[in-house]
Amino acid sequence: MSILVGADTRLLVQGLTGKEGTFHTLRNRAYGTEVVAGVTPGKAGQDVEGIPVFDTVADAVRETDANTSMIFVPPRFAAEAILESADAGVGLVVCITEGIPVADMALVHSFLTGRATTLIGPNCPGAISPGVANVGIIPPEVCMPGRVGFVSRSGTLVYQIVHELTQRGIGQSTCVGMGGDPVHGIGFIEALAAFEADVATDLMIMTGEIGGDDEERAADYIAKQVTKPVVAYIAGFEAPPGKRMGHAGAIVTGSKGTAAAKAEALEAAGVRVARDPSQVAELVQVALT
């Protein structure tokens, strides 16, 4: 079993005909993901190695029963692409595009509220259920099927920590890169709730970073709602206050949003928190024994 992406995923790609869209879509298909369509306005009737291209998401959904969208379009068009997929009834939208203006994402967030569409991203690596389906840019070579669920604000930390888990023989049920922008789709709480309900997930990992309060709110949720063990890592213990580090949401103001404060909140909720990303796999191994 997996969350978000799996054997029932039918993927359409907005921006399939672009260089990055083509490259990653074909990698996803080679991994076993069922890719049914691409969408590029003005290119209907073409195909990319047998994948049909449509002018609109609505056309693609009608003709192929696509239920998941992956977005590789420029930042100025990305918010509209998300809205188009949601309006066409796509259940899961994975937006890889980075650099989308916060004001655009605020409009997207408002539009999606109360709708059945789940958004991952933007500025994210997507999601992979090892051995089943990959929707995004997470390298499947570092993954292996298993029973550890993983959600992260940082894509790079997904790659590193998953690789170290795999080296120890610890497989993953689903890995989710939620993205580091201040306004985003699925967050820690939604992912943790899904993993808590997933009978094929025994333990959860969350990796966060400085800035915002997503991790503190997740800590409160874990204390009240989560029964499975959780291991965490927060990037930025040495980050200077007042300076943005990496992602658009990674900025510390005063004592709020620091790695230390987030770690303290999580540990108070019973979460094992690593002080170095290389310690995560070790803590997971200990928790599973």
**Residues annotated as catalytic (active site), given as ranges:** 247
Contact between 15 and 54 under an 8 Å Cβ cutoff? The reply is no
Helix (H, G, I), strand (E, B), or coil: what is residue 173? strand
Beta bridge partners of 107: none
Contact between 43 and 14 under an 8 Å Cβ cutoff? The reply is no
Question: 47-48 and 68-71 as β-strands: parallel, antiparallel, unpaired?
Answer: unpaired
Contact between 13 and 25 under an 8 Å Cβ cutoff? The reply is yes
Residue ranges of alpha helices (H) inside the chain are: 19-31, 57-64, 75-87, 102-112, 155-167, 188-197, 214-225, 259-268, 280-288
Contact between 88 and 75 under an 8 Å Cβ cutoff? The reply is no
Q: How far apart are CA 79 and CA 97, in angstroms?
A: 10
Q: How far apart are CA 86 and CA 115, in angstroms?
A: 8
Beta bridge partners of 151: 176, 206
Amino acid at residue number 153: R
Contact between 186 and 176 under an 8 Å Cβ cutoff? The reply is yes
Phi and psi dihedrals of 133, rounded to 5? -155, 150
Q: How far apart are CA 280 and CA 172, in angstroms?
A: 14
